[in-house]
Structure 1
Amino acid sequence: MDLSCGENLQNSGHISNGSGRTVVVDMCVAGPDRALDRDPRLLPNLLILERVNALHTDYFEHVQIDIQPFMRKVVTTWMLEVCEEQQCEEQVYPLAVSYIDRFLAQRAISRQQLQLLAVTALLLASKFRQCHPLSVDLLCAYTDNSVYPEEVREWEVMLLQRLNWQLSIATAFDFVEPLLARVPWGRANSLVRIHALTLTSVCYTETEFLLVPPSLIAVACITAAARGLRVRMTINDLCTLTSTPAAAAELVARHVERVLARETQPQEPRARHVQPVKQSAPEQTQLPDTPTDIQDVRF
């Protein structure tokens, strides 16, 4: 039995504590556990947990009155930026978004309370998934103090009650490592995992994937990442592991590719006066048929 420690002590970093001071925090994160990733019980347990916490209805149509889909995208993008700046562990962000979605599926709130909910979800997720949780004061500072610590503490109890104290929720991030460990091409390119997790983060900001199971999101993002890196693979390997129809996985993978193309398309400045200009030859401005060449995308 190998009991060696694979932590990298060089991962300690400097993080602001919300009061303007910078403190040294131990940010050591253990590497992948190969024994756990290959355990035959892991994927079945994750799939069961996925079904238990699945969303079955679009809460924008049946529950929420004031909250609109674009508001969710704005707040989840803000959450992702906070997690990246604070160097949170990978599972914190998708878990926090999952908490938000499950809360919004049960109770209607106003748009003024959405960022308060996001702050509370980040607080709970960081407490649950990393050794050094984000502080309440730090999270409030990220909102330009529009959210008060007293409100966050009150909502923390309310969010826990709405979640029935079930904080262990399977996210797409949880599926990526076990899936890559079980396919023969999973370790062919070390960038597949990094790009797949980046695509997964993008999917969690999009309301289009709200009702898609996390396992299917993971399969689609791994497929899109592998294709973009030109890794020889087959989507059937992943579908077999997750009991997912190949047609559904391919459909979601292509949708992930379209989202990637949309998010990475450069924004052209708007001209004040637009005049028709005759062109001698048509310009080639269309996107390629397979927009998954992500080697040129900076992650």
Structure 2
Amino acid sequence: MDMACLEIPGTVQGDKDFTILSDHRVIKNLLEAEKAYIPSMNYFIIQSDIKPFMRKVVTQWMLEVCEEQKCEDSVLPLAVNIMDRFMCACVIKRQDFQLLGASCLLIASKLRCCNQLGVDLLCAYTDNSVTPENIQSWELLILSKLQWEMSAITGFDYVDQVIGRCSWGNDSTLLRRHSNTLVSVCYTEPSLIQYAPSLIAAACLCSAVRGLKLSSARQAASDICMMLNVDPINMELLVRFIDQTIEQSVSQSSTTQQQEVVQEEEISTKFAEYEQPETPTEVNNLYFCD
């Protein structure tokens, strides 16, 4: 009997489940459950060796790992949520921050990925500054500190629910992609640690709709606020923050690219000053003996 698996490798987006999308209890249950997974405090108060900019660096590294490995969009928000809740319960040293991030990525990938991130792969992403034994021991530490409550509600969980329930959700095929990207960006921002996932999702959806310049932008904002029980003023403030963050990121990226181009031109100019014949004279004067 031929037992070969003929499935196409990679991530395949499933079809919409209209039974779930038509049931109002789904979002209601998400809104109720999310309260248990919001970090209980601004942990920088108790983490004397950890600063907000360090969290930014570590979470951006986690984002890059997820992007390079083409992980599902839900992996990063869950990993960061696990990390934030752990930091509320346990004080760590700055030397262990990346190790904590790698361990949280391992746990999140087991829950949300078809193909989990390997321990050896995560070690390689840290330039082998940690060992597989380190990650495995920290995985158990995180699970014990959080009492195995790993399947948290994140901003990602609301995106498909909102898009699938609204008529404007089909106005652009890029809406889901843009919204999930913005959700990931929000989870790298230290100032949003204690923001409710529903508020983050609402602001990201609204920002994506406006960024794509959909004609239904005003209606979308109203629908999102009503569906996720979000204050329109709070959502607007967060939308502005997201837009500014993206603008700064694009500006910094553009500046970095321009600097790299200038450096390449300077190097090319310096090399051009040293003109050499295709075959140096010294080589023509060499005699090889048997």
Match of 2:266 in 1: none
**1:36 counterpart = 2:23:** no
Residue in structure 2 matched with residue 64 of structure 1 by the alignment: 47
Q: How far 1:30 sits from its partner (Å)? A: 2.8
Is the 2:40–2:88 contact (alpha carbons within 8 Å) kept by the matching residues of 1?
no
The question of whether the paired residues in 2 share the 8 Å contact of 1:183 and 1:238 is answered with no
The counterpart of 2:250, out of the listed 260, 264, 270, is 264
Unaligned runs of 5+ in 1: 1-7, 14-26, 272-299
Q: CA RMSD in A?
A: 1.9
Q: Percent identity?
A: 43
TM-score by length of 1: 0.79
Contact kept, 8 Å, 1:220 with 1:252, in 2: the verdict is yes
1:247 counterpart residue number: 233
Q: Is the 8 A contact 1:63 1:106 kept in 2?
A: no
The SS at the match of 2:103 is helix
The partner residue of 2:29 within 45, 53, 57 is 45
Structure 1 contact 38–178 (Cα < 8 Å) conserved: no
Alignment length, in residue pairs?
A: 249
**What residue is the counterpart of 1:22 in the other structure?**
none
Residues 221 and 132 (structure 1), Cα distance of their counterparts in 2 relative to 1, 3 Å cut: same
Which entry has the higher C-alpha Rg, 1 or 2? 2
Residues 224-275 of structure 1, C-alpha deviation per residue, up to 9 Å, x if partnerless?
111111112231211111111111111111111111111111226499xxxx
Query: 2:39: which partner in 1?
Result: 55
- Structure 2 Cα separation of the partners of residues 93 and 262 of structure 1: 21
- 1:102 paired residue among 85, 95, 103: 85
Instruction: Decide which of 180, 185, 190 is 2:168's aligned counterpart.
Output: 185
**Runs of 4+ in structure 1 displaced over 2 angstroms?**
27-39, 268-271
Q: CA offset at residue 29 of structure 1?
A: 4.6
Aligned counterparts of 1:191 and 1:118: Cα–Cα separation in 2: 29
Contact kept? 1:116, 1:152, Cα under 8 Å: yes
> Equivalents in 2 of 1:169, 1:37: separation in Å?
20
Which whole-Å CA distance do the structure 2 matches of 1:66 and 1:146 have between them?
Answer: 19
- Structure 1 residue 230 corresponds to structure 2 residue 213: yes
**Structure with more helix by fraction:** 2
SS in 2 for 1:108: coil
How far apart, in 2, do the equivalents of 1:48 and 1:141 lie? 39
- Offset of residue 183 of structure 1: 2.1
Distance 1:9 1:32, change over 3 A: farther
CA distance in 1, matches of 2:222, 2:60: 32
1:48-197 map, 5 Å: 48-60=32-44, 62-197=45-180
TM-score by length of 2: 0.81
Runs (5+) with no aligned partner, structure 2: 1-5, 263-290
Structure-1 residue corresponding to 2:270: none
1:31 shift after superposition: 4.1
Q: State the alpha-carbon separation in 2 of the partners of residues 269 and 92 from structure 1.
A: 33
State whether residues 154 and 197 of structure 2, in contact with CA within 8 Å, keep that contact through their aligned partners in structure 1. yes
Distance verdict in 2 for CA 1:159–1:82, change over 3 Å: same
